[in-house]
Structure 1
Amino acid sequence: MKTKNLIISAGIALLIAAFLIGRWTAPSPAVHDPSIAEKAAPTTAEPEVWTCSMHPQIQQPEPGDCPICGMDLIPLENDSDGDEGPRTLSMSESSRALANIQTSVIKRRFPTAEIRLVGKLEYDETKVKSLTARFPARIDELFVNFPGVPVQKGDHLARVYSPELLTAQSELITAHRYDPDSAATRAAKEKLLLWDLLPNQVDAILKSGKASDTFELKAPIAGIVVNKNINEGDYMKTGQPLFRIVDLNTLWLQLNAYESDLAWLRFGQQVTFSVEAYPGQNFQGQITFIEPEINRATRTVAVRVNVDNAAGKLKPGMFAKARAKSQVAQAGSVFEPEFAGKWISPMHPEIVKDGPGHCDICGMDLVPAEELGYVQNPDAEPPLVIPASAVLRTGKRAVVYIEKPNTSRPTFEGREIELGPRAGEVFVVRSGLAKGDRVVTNGAFKIDSALQIKAKPSMMNPQGDASPPSHHHGDGEMASSASKAAALEIAPGSASQIVNHYLAMQSALAGDDLEEAKNAANAMMKITGHSGDLPDLLHDMLAADDIDAFRRPHFEKLSNAFIAAAKTDANAFEQPLTIMHCPMVYPDRGADWLQGDLNLKNPYFGAMMLTCGEVKGTLGKERESSEVEQ
C-alpha cells in the first residue's frame, strides 16, 4: 500500500511540473496586425492576357501565335500607373524586352541620298563630224569601204575627180605667182580650205606649182567611220553627205530620272555606272545637262552624263545602271564639300576653279557653284535626321515615339513631326524633334498598338477614342480612298495581258523598292498606252514622291480593279491568283491585293509588317475558291 501511494504522488508531481513548464515557455497572446494579416492572406492573381503587338484586337488567356500574322503573343500588362499624358505609354522592363523596343539618339549630320538610274550610252554629239561634198566630183577610188573603220585625223578616205577643183587650184597658183601676199591669193586659199582641203594640202599645191584634176578626201577628225553614203563611181553633188565620223573617246550616258529624284541631281555631280559587258567593274562620269522639261509620256527627266572612254571599252548602245550620291543639307539642298566656294563652267563641269574666270574649253564665264544648286555656306549646320524605321506615316501625318528621360520605368511619348526629304535610310526632320532626343527605332508600331488598346491618341487613331477612326484620318485621305478605289475598271482580257507586271509591282512594294515598282508601272503603260483611266492611274503612280504615296491609294485602286476583273472572268488568267487581305491598311476596312502564290508578302507595309494579313481565297484558270468574298 505504501508503495502504491508513492507512485501516485510521483505522477501528480510530474503533471504539475509539466503544467508549470508549459506556462513558462508558451508565447504571449498575438496582437492583431492588419498588415501582417493582409500579407499572410492568399492573393487572387488577375487573369493573364496575351495580345499581338501588331494586332491588338487579338487577346487570348494563354501564350501562342497571332492567328493573323503569326507573331508571338506578348503579355498585356497594366502599366497605367506610369502614364503621364494622353500620348504617353509606360511599361515594365520585361514588357520592353518582350516587345524588343530599341532606341537611338537623334543627331545632326549630312546624310547621303543614293539615286538609282538606268539609261543607255550614246555618241557625244559634240564629237560627231559629217563630211559632205563641197564641190561636184566623181568618186574614183574609196579607201574606206565600210562603216566601223577607225581613222586618224588626216587619213585618206577617197580619191575624187573634179574639174571645178582643177580650176580652183589653177586660180591659186596664178595668184600666188603674181603676188603671194595679195588679196587674190588669200581668197583662193580660203576657197580651197572651205572645200575641206587641209592646210598641208594647200601648201603642197603651192609647192608643186601644178594643178591636179584628182584630189584625196582626208578625215577631218580622229574616230570611227559610222556612216558611208557613197560607192566608187558615184558622182557627188555639192552638199551631198559622204562620211560620218565619230570620236568615241568621249561618250554620253543618257539617263532617265523620276521627278522625285530631281532634288538630288545637280550639274557637275559624279555618277557611277556599270554595264553588262564588264560585270563588277564601275565607270565614272559627270552630269553635264538636266533636261528642263519632263517627258509627258514617261513622266521622267533626261539627264546627260559625260563619260571618258579613252580605253575604248564602252560602246554606244550599251545599257547602263547608274548611281548618283548626294549629301543632303538643310531644306533638302545638296551639299558637296569639293564645290564649296568654287566656280564651274556651265558647259563643261570638269572645269572647276577657285575664283571667277573663263572656261578653258569654250571660253564661257564661270559661275559660282551656288548658282547650280549646291549649298551656299560650307560651314552650314547639318540637318537633324532620324532613321526611317522610326517613322510611322499615314496620309500626310508622321508620328514618332521618343523615350522620356529620367523616369523610373521605360516611358514613351508620341509626337507628330514634320518630315523633310528622305535620304537613304533616314529622313530629314524639319520640326517636332531636337538634337539629343532618343527616338524609338524598333517597336514603334507596337507602342502605337498599345495606345490603341487604351483608346489613346495614336498613329491610326489621332483622336484617341474607341470609335472607328474612319472619319479622322489624315485630312480625309483614308475616308475618301474607298470611293477612289472603286472608280477604276479593267476588262478581264486587258488585265490578263498586264497581270505579270502587276505581280512584279506587288513584289517590289513588299520589298520596299519604289524604283522597281515604278518600272512595273512603266511596263504596264507600254502595253496600255497613255490615254484612259488606267494610264492616268499609272501616271499618278509614276509621279508619287515616295513609296507610301505609291501604295495608298494608288496600288489599292489598281488591286481592286484587278480583283474585280479576275472575279468577272477567272479563266482569262493563265495562272491561279490568290486574294490577300490586311486589316491594318485602313483601320475601318483594311485593303486587298493579289499574289501569284500563297506566300503572303504585304505590299502596303513592306518590311515593317511583311506577313500581316490573311488569305481570302484563290482565283484562276484552273481553280476557284468559294471562300472569295462576293
Structure 2
Amino acid sequence: MKTFPILAVSLVVVCAAGGAWWAAQRHVHEPVAEIGDDGAVYWTCAMHPEVRMDAPGNCPICGMRLVQKRAAARAAAAHDTLPTVEVAAQMVQRLGIRTALVERGRFWQRVDTVGRVEVDARRIRTLESRAVGWIEQQRVHAVGERVRAGETLAGVFAPELYAAQQELLLAHRSGDEALQSAARTRLQLLGADTAQIDAILRRGEAQRALPLLAPADGIVLDLDVHEGRQIAPGMPLARIADLSQVWIIAEIPEAQLGRITEGRPAEVRFAALPGQVFQGRIDYLYPGVDAVTRTARVRIVLDNPQWRLTPGMYAEVTLFGGARDDVLMVPSEALIRTGTRSVVILALDDRHFRPVEVVAGDERDGRTVILDGLKAGQRIVVSGQFLIDAEASLRGAFGRMAPAHAQATGDGP
C-alpha cells in the first residue's frame, strides 16, 4: 500500500535532478573580456565578473568553469578609476558608436545673458526756474509725452524777466554797445536763449511770458508745470530724456566676469523686434557684485535713431570676450555631466573604450574647452557613450566587490 507514494517521490526527485542537469547543460555564458589594473593573470566567471581567482576552478556562484584573463597595466592618470570596456564589433555598429578627435584651436569667449533698456543718464536735461513768476499757457500736460527740440512746454511770466526785456530794448535804442551787452547777459542769466533775445529785438517789444522750450527731442520724464502755479528760483520744472541713444543694463554671473572687458563688442536682441540684431560695445563694467544674486552689472550703449527702443524693454544680450588660442576642444555632445564631475569615453581602438574624467571649461557653438584630462589627437566617443559609461561603472563596482567576495568564500589570497 505504501509503494505508490514512494515511487511518486522517487520520480519527482529524478525529474528534478534531470531538470537541473539539463539546465546546467543549457547554461551557456558568453565570455566577456575584462581588463584589470595590476597586469597579472587571473581567472573569472564570464557570467559573474565580480568573481576573481588566482587559480583555475569553478565559479562559486553558478559552478561553471572559470575563464583565464590577463590584466592590462593601469593608465597613468590618477583620476582614471574605471576599467576598460570591450565592445564586440557588431555591437559597435548596432549602438551607432561614433568618435571624434580632440583638437586644438581658437575659442571665442562669450557670455549670454539678459538685460533691459534704460535711459542714457548723460542725455537727460533738466529745466529749472531762474526767477520768481507764474506758469501761463501750458501746452505739455503729461509725463511720457514726446517732445521736439524747441517745442514750447509752457509760458513763464516773471516780473524780473519782463523788466530785463525792457532794459534790453532801451539799450538797443540808445545804441550803447556796453549797455546792450549787459542787458543780453542779464536775460541769458534769467533763462532766455539767443534766439529768444533776437526775437525780442526784432519785434521791438517785451513779451509778457517767455516760452519754456524743450532743449532736445525726447520724452518727458518729470513734469512739475501746472498753469497758474507760482514758481521760484531753482525750482525744477521738467526733465527731458533724449532717446536717440539708450543704455542696455545686463546682469552677468560673478564667475564670468573675467571673460569680458570694456570696449568689447556686444549683440542685443529684443522679443518685440524679432530677427533684428543691434550691435553695440561694452561701455562700462559697474564695480561691485550683488550680494544676493552674485551678479555684476554691465552697460552697453546702443544708437536708437528711430526710437524703437523704449525704457523697460527686455533684451537678450551676447557679450564677446575675445579669442583664446591653442586650447583643447571637444564636441559638447561627448561630455557626460553628472553634476559632480564631467566624463568622456576615450576610444583606445575600434573595440576598447575607457571613461576619463575631465575638467570642462567654456562652451560655445557645440564645442567645449577641456582644461585637463585629455591630449590633442586622442579619439573620444560622441555617440553611444552613455551605455559604455554605465558598463564601465558596473565593472568598477564589481571590481571593488571582488576582494570582499573572495575573502568570504575563502578562495581569495
Taking structure 2 as the reference length, the TM-score comes to: 0.69
Matched, 1:221 2:216: yes
Q: Could you tell me which of 231, 235, 245 is aligned with 2:230?
A: 235
Matched, 1:317 2:312: yes
Match of residue 335 from structure 1: 322
Q: Could you tell me which of 319, 328, 331 is aligned with 1:387?
A: 331
Determine if contact 1:82/1:90 at 8 Å carries over to the other structure.
no
Q: CA deviation at 1:382?
A: 3.5
Q: CA deviation at 1:95?
A: 3.3
Q: Secondary structure at the match of 2:306?
A: coil
Structure with more contact order per residue of length (Cα contacts < 8 Å, sep ≥ 6): 2
Q: In 1, Cα distance between the equivalents of 2:204 and 2:119? A: 42
Q: 1:287 to 1:382 in 2, by over 3 A?
A: same
Q: 1:196 to 1:271 in 2, by over 3 A?
A: farther
Deviation per CA, 1:504-560: give whole Å up to 9, x if none: xxxxxxxxxxxxxxxxxxxxxxxxxxxxxxxxxxxxxxxxxxxxxxxxxxxxxxxxx
Determine if contact 2:139/2:153 at 8 Å carries over to the other structure.
yes
Identical aligned pairs, as a percentage?
30
Q: 1:272 to 1:109 in 2, by over 3 A?
A: farther
Determine if contact 1:287/1:305 at 8 Å carries over to the other structure.
yes
Q: CA deviation at 1:385?
A: 0.7
Matches within 5 A, 1:112-261: 112=108, 115-173=111-169, 177=174, 179-180=176-177, 182=178, 185-208=180-203, 210-261=205-256
Query: What amino acid is the match of 1:97?
Result: Q
Query: What amino acid is the match of 1:466?
Result: M
Q: 1:202 to 1:465 in 2, by over 3 A?
A: same
Q: CA deviation at 1:164?
A: 0.6
Query: What amino acid is the match of 2:322?
Result: F
Q: Secondary structure at the match of 1:383?
A: strand
Q: In 2, Cα distance between the equivalents of 1:144 and 1:79? A: 95
Match of residue 369 from structure 1: none
Q: CA deviation at 1:292?
A: 1.6
Q: Secondary structure at the match of 1:466?
A: helix
Query: What amino acid is the match of 2:381?
Result: V
Q: CA deviation at 1:394?
A: 5.7
Determine if contact 2:335/2:343 at 8 Å carries over to the other structure.
yes
Match of residue 29 from structure 2: 47
Q: In 2, Cα distance between the equivalents of 1:105 and 1:302? A: 39
Q: In 2, Cα distance between the equivalents of 1:100 and 1:466? A: 32
Matches within 5 A, 1:443-522: 443-455=384-396, 465-466=400-401
Query: What amino acid is the match of 2:29?
Result: P
Determine if contact 1:287/1:303 at 8 Å carries over to the other structure.
yes
Q: CA deviation at 1:200?
A: 1.4
Q: CA deviation at 1:263?
A: 4.0
Matched, 1:437 2:378: yes
Deviation per CA, 1:215-270: give whole Å up to 9, x if none: 12222112223433122111111122222222222222232222244344443422
Determine if contact 1:271/1:287 at 8 Å carries over to the other structure.
no
Matched, 1:427 2:358: no
Query: What amino acid is the match of 2:189?
Result: L
Match of residue 9 from structure 1: none
Match of residue 402 from structure 1: 346
Q: In 1, Cα distance between the equivalents of 2:141 and 2:395? A: 84
Q: CA deviation at 1:133?
A: 0.8
Q: 1:420 to 1:279 in 2, by over 3 A?
A: closer
Q: In 2, Cα distance between the equivalents of 1:426 and 1:169? A: 73
Match of residue 80 from structure 2: none
Determine if contact 1:82/1:91 at 8 Å carries over to the other structure.
no
Q: CA deviation at 1:286?
A: 3.5
Q: In 1, Cα distance between the equivalents of 2:387 and 2:186? A: 84
Unpaired runs of at least 5, structure 2: 1-24, 33-45, 49-66, 76-82, 404-413
Q: CA deviation at 1:411?
A: 2.4
Query: What amino acid is the match of 2:92?
Result: R
Q: CA deviation at 1:402?
A: 2.1
Q: Secondary structure at the match of 1:202?
A: helix
Q: In 2, Cα distance between the equivalents of 1:116 and 1:295? A: 18
Determine if contact 2:119/2:311 at 8 Å carries over to the other structure.
yes
Q: 1:174 to 1:79 in 2, by over 3 A?
A: farther
Query: What amino acid is the match of 2:237?
Result: L
Q: CA deviation at 1:97?
A: 2.9
Q: In 2, Cα distance between the equivalents of 1:292 and 1:273? A: 25
Q: 1:97 to 1:85 in 2, by over 3 A?
A: farther
Q: 1:323 to 1:288 in 2, by over 3 A?
A: same
Q: In 2, Cα distance between the equivalents of 1:225 and 1:79? A: 87
Match of residue 568 from structure 1: none
Matches within 5 A, 1:354-373: none
Query: What amino acid is the match of 2:390?
Result: S
Q: CA deviation at 1:324?
A: 0.5
Q: 1:104 to 1:178 in 2, by over 3 A?
A: same
Q: In 2, Cα distance between the equivalents of 1:144 and 1:91? A: 80
Q: In 2, Cα distance between the equivalents of 1:125 and 1:80? A: 76
Determine if contact 1:157/1:216 at 8 Å carries over to the other structure.
yes
Q: Secondary structure at the match of 2:186?
A: helix
Q: Could you tell me which of 285, 290, 300 is aligned with 1:290?
A: 285
Determine if contact 1:116/1:321 at 8 Å carries over to the other structure.
no
Match of residue 104 from structure 2: 108
Q: In 1, Cα distance between the equivalents of 2:68 and 2:337? A: 26
Determine if contact 1:114/1:424 at 8 Å carries over to the other structure.
no
Unpaired runs of at least 5, structure 1: 1-42, 51-58, 62-77, 327-333, 337-374, 376-380, 469-630
Deviation per CA, 1:438-459: give whole Å up to 9, x if none: 1122333433333344438xxx
Match of residue 362 from structure 1: none
Q: Could you tell me which of 91, 96, 104 is aligned with 1:95?
A: 91
Q: 1:204 to 1:316 in 2, by over 3 A?
A: same
Q: In 2, Cα distance between the equivalents of 1:391 and 1:466? A: 28
Q: 1:397 to 1:223 in 2, by over 3 A?
A: closer
Give the CA RMSD over aligned residues.
Answer: 3.7
Determine if contact 1:112/1:325 at 8 Å carries over to the other structure.
no
Q: In 2, Cα distance between the equivalents of 1:221 and 1:92? A: 77
Determine if contact 2:114/2:315 at 8 Å carries over to the other structure.
yes
Matches within 5 A, 1:7-86: 46-48=28-30, 83=72, 85=74
Query: What amino acid is the match of 1:124?
Result: D
Q: In 2, Cα distance between the equivalents of 1:282 and 1:168? A: 53
Q: CA deviation at 1:165?
A: 0.7
Taking structure 1 as the reference length, the TM-score comes to: 0.47
Q: In 2, Cα distance between the equivalents of 1:325 and 1:83? A: 48
Determine if contact 2:117/2:315 at 8 Å carries over to the other structure.
no
**Which has the larger share of strand?**
2
Query: What amino acid is the match of 2:328?
Result: L
